[in-house]
Amino acid sequence: MSHHLEKSRNSCALHGALQLFEAIDAVVPVIHSTSGCGVQHYLGVTRLSGGNDTFGSPPVSSSNITQKHVVFGGGSRLREQLKNTVKVVQGDLYAIVTGCSTEMVGDDIPAMAREGRDQDWPVIFANTPGFSGDVHQGYHLAVKALIEQLPDIVKTQEVIPAGLVNIWGIIPNQDPFWRGNLQELGRLLEGVGLIPNLLLGRDQSIASWKQVPGAVLNLVISPWGKLPAQLLEERYTIPSITLDGLPVGTSASILLRRLTEQLELDPIRTEKFITREESLLNYQLARLADTYYRAGFQREFALVGESAQVIGIGEFLVKSFGMLPGTLVITDNPPESIREEVAGRLATILPGYDTVVIFSEDQSEITDVVRAGDPGLILGSSLEQEVAVELGVPFLALSFPLFDRIVLERAYAGYRGAATLLEDMGSAILSCSNYINEAS
Amino acid sequence: MSIKQGKHIAIYGKGGIGKSTTTSNISAALADAGYRVIQIGCDPKSDSTTILRGGNDLPTVLDTLREQSKVRLEDISAVGFGGVLCIEAGGPVPGVGCAGRGINAAVELLQELHVFDEFKPDFVLYDVLGDVVCGGFAVPIRDGLADRAFVVSSSDFMSIFAANNLFKAVNKYAPSGGARLGGIIANSILAAYAPALIDDFAGKTGTHVIGYVPRSLVVAQSELYGKTVIEAAPQSEQAQVYRNLAKYIDENDDSVIPKPLNSPELKKWAREWGDRIFEVETGVVHEMASI
């Protein structure tokens, strides 16, 4: 039975695709839809993800169709918009993304992209009506468009560095820490002699995407990275390592050892790197020990976020930091088959503890479940602050939407991310008024 | 919204079944009887009112809306036979855009132009594309626009199928203020079994046939001259058939919420009629049947 959904944190497919294209240097998205779609992307997604949205307003090209384009078809409006965009915005690639109305009408988008290519404009398209799915589906559709259409546009032979690894499954802005997380994952790969293909973020351009087919491996960080990996395996027989969640803390060591074994890397180098990183993390944990016990860090927590975050951060807090998993809420609405995998994965990190695990994107339900668990600490999106205040417990915002923190290079992935997480979480616990009252 | 002027009637039917011809002749007959009539073609083909206007061109509402930011009633209407105000909603070329939304946009514009307040019609006839394929084509029977819908149907199964689809739409919208069903106009009646078949369908779906229009050469001939039968052959029997339909629509306000057949019921009903027609054609005589 249907029920009403309060404050969903999953925007639509069009926005997911835009988030991906906007995270690649010199890729110019062209929205073929009504004007609200682009504005909503800015207001509902970009602006709510760690405060690093574009200055002023969203500089996105959009066909801004009106009723006459719905009635008579919007193909010619798109043609005009594409032509004007190419004229005024210099880019390496123009990516047409579509909204609900133009897809309902059935505008022939592939033909428009083909027309552009016939004029030697580098144009790809992704059919991304909001009704086709949520932001995660949009990521899928945009990545698929790049993997399938880029080879038709870029004919030049790329020199692919040996040991290149593509990283999939981190959705820009939907993970507010995506930049930092990717950087840290890159650092881990470099630590064992691999070359990371981050694909998104600073200095990541079409040049990075051209190298995708030549990678030796796909590293899948979330359930949403499985489709790109599968496409690349089918097309180019590139194998994959699938993690389901962010590797946080010592989970990174497991990943590095898997990489070393699968890609036959130098195990001595790998162990040396792991030892150095783990020793630093242990050193940091040791310094934290006194506060940990004095302030009673070991407490039951509620964690609300996307599956990759809940698995990665949850695993680290439980296994490495001795925290007690009270409530885990997975908000990225994965399909049924993936839910089973996620639940199975969580079961391995929660043995013997009576944890409530739910899949929900409904704020009302999430709040009820968190409240019922009576946690001593809440980690979630900015939306969970309200229930944290209500319960008077420490709170750390770390998942989307994140509108009360600035995130520039911060990461919670890897060894460094683990230390950052402890800094942020520990500060939240210490600064919570309850603790201060008790201490004084 | 202003008080509705006149009786608003929507006429539906499968493409090519003769609904524009029927509607135009009813409009002409009503006009001939002294009424003020507006006929609005709600079909992207935009040929609903052709035979009321002697075949002359008429810019469609949507084409005009596309070209001009400000549209006046004179731009999108023409006065045809008997003073009938002819309007064509128009629509996109086949395979492009959304004709359903076009109907919506055209009707919205007519309301903005206060066409009904200014013209003060006694009758407004909407001639709508057949199958009610999407919400846009249900606009005339939704939102209290038309009071009654009639369906033009022959005895062909696909035509009955389209009629049944309209019944589904009426059934859906009528309880919340949409149009109710006035009845079936049986058209192109040629075969002997045709009236009985349509009567039977009407009975099964809780409605009735308001008139039988025989297939006639006069209609084809009049159309070739770009005229209605009422104009081209006013004394013909066929003209009288259309006058009777117009009289019925004028004098009767009866309407029902039809009970459409579901898919298996419709198929079963069709098969039974298939058997009956076969038996009639091949001369099968059943036991105890009177000849």
Is B98's CB within 8 Å of A67's CB? no
A40 pLDDT band, cuts 50/70/90, is confident
A351 pLDDT band, cuts 50/70/90, is confident
Question: A155 CB contacts (<8 Å, ≥6 apart)?
Answer: none
Amino acid symbol at B129: L
Is A71's CB within 8 Å of B91's CB? yes
Give the per-residue pLDDT at A58: 61
Query: Chain B contacts of A100, Cβ < 8 Å?
Result: none
Least CA distance to B64: which residue of chain A? Answer: A68
B1 pLDDT band, cuts 50/70/90, is very low
Of B211, B217, B182, the closest CA to residue B199 belongs to B211
Task: Tell me the β-bridge partners of A157.
Answer: none
A344 contacts A280 by C-beta, under 8 angstroms: no
Least CA distance to A103: which residue of chain B? Answer: B97
Query: Chain B contacts of A103, Cβ < 8 Å?
Result: none
A208 contacts A198 by C-beta, under 8 angstroms: yes
Give the per-residue pLDDT at A337: 86
| B259 belongs to the catalytic site | no
Give the per-residue pLDDT at B286: 66
pLDDT tens-digit readout, A63-110? 999 998 999 999 999 999 999 999 999 999 999 999 999 999 899 999
pLDDT tens-digit readout, B32-45? 999 999 999 998 88
Residue A73 has its nearest CB partner, among B65, B92, B105, at: B92
The secondary element (H helix, E strand) that includes residue B188 is: strand B180-189
CA B192 to chain CA mean position, Å: 24
| B131 belongs to the catalytic site | yes
Is A72's CB within 8 Å of B92's CB? yes
Query: Chain B contacts of A99, Cβ < 8 Å?
Result: none
Query: Chain B contacts of A67, Cβ < 8 Å?
Result: 101, 105
- Separation CA A169–CA A143 (nearest Å): 10
The C-alpha of B134 sits at a distance from chain A's nearest C-alpha, in angstroms, of: 11
Taking the Cβ of residue A67 and every Cβ of chain B, the question of whether any pair is shorter than 8 Å is answered with yes
Thinking of the domain B7-260, which architecture would CATH place it in? 3-Layer(aba) Sandwich (3.40)
- Separation CA B6–CA A422 (nearest Å): 76
Least CA distance to A104: which residue of chain B? Answer: B98
B20 pLDDT band, cuts 50/70/90, is very high
Residue B92 has its nearest CB partner, among A67, A71, A104, at: A71
Q: Is the pLDDT of residue A435 over 80?
A: no
pLDDT tens-digit readout, B117-146? 889 999 999 999 877 778 888 888 887 789
| B7 belongs to the catalytic site | no
CA B105 to chain CA mean position, Å: 20
Of A403, A415, A417, the closest CA to residue A179 belongs to A417
What are the C-alpha distances in Å from A429 to residues A134, A282, A285, A311, B179?
A: 34, 21, 16, 22, 65
Give the per-residue pLDDT at A42: 85
Q: Is the pLDDT of residue B197 over 60?
A: yes
Following DSSP, what letter does each residue of B108-174 receive, concatenated? HHHHHTTHHHHH--SEEEEEE-TT--SGGGGGGGSTTS-SEEEEEE-SSHHHHHHHHHHHHHHHHHG
Catalytic residue among B63, B127, B131, B147, which? B131
Q: Which domains does chain A have, with CATH numbers?
A: 13-153 (3.40.50.1980), 164-262 (3.40.50.1980), 295-439 (3.40.50.1980)
Instruction: Summarize the confidence of residues A188-213 as an average pLDDT.
Output: 96
Is A72's CB within 8 Å of B62's CB? yes
> What ipTM was assigned to the predicted interfaces of this complex?
0.79
Q: Is the pLDDT of residue B157 over 60?
A: yes
The C-alpha of B229 sits at a distance from chain A's nearest C-alpha, in angstroms, of: 34
Amino acid symbol at A190: E
Taking the Cβ of residue A72 and every Cβ of chain B, the question of whether any pair is shorter than 8 Å is answered with yes
Phi, then psi, of B264 in degrees rounded to 5: -65, -40
pLDDT tens-digit readout, A143-168? 999 999 999 888 777 789 999 999 99
Q: How many helices, marked H, and strands, marked E, lie in chain B? A: 11, 8
A2 pLDDT band, cuts 50/70/90, is low
Mean pLDDT computed over every residue of chain A: 93
A247 contacts A414 by C-beta, under 8 angstroms: yes
Q: Is the pLDDT of residue B257 over 50?
A: yes
Query: Chain A contacts of B62, Cβ < 8 Å?
Result: 68, 71-72
CA B186 to chain CA mean position, Å: 11
- Separation CA A21–CA A37 (nearest Å): 15
Is A70's CB within 8 Å of B65's CB? no
Give the per-residue pLDDT at B234: 96
Mean pLDDT computed over every residue of chain B: 90
The C-alpha of A34 sits at a distance from chain B's nearest C-alpha, in angstroms, of: 15
Q: Is the pLDDT of residue B152 over 50?
A: yes
Ramachandran region of residue A193, left (φ > 0), alpha (ψ -120 to 50) or beta? left
Query: Chain B contacts of A68, Cβ < 8 Å?
Result: 62, 65-66
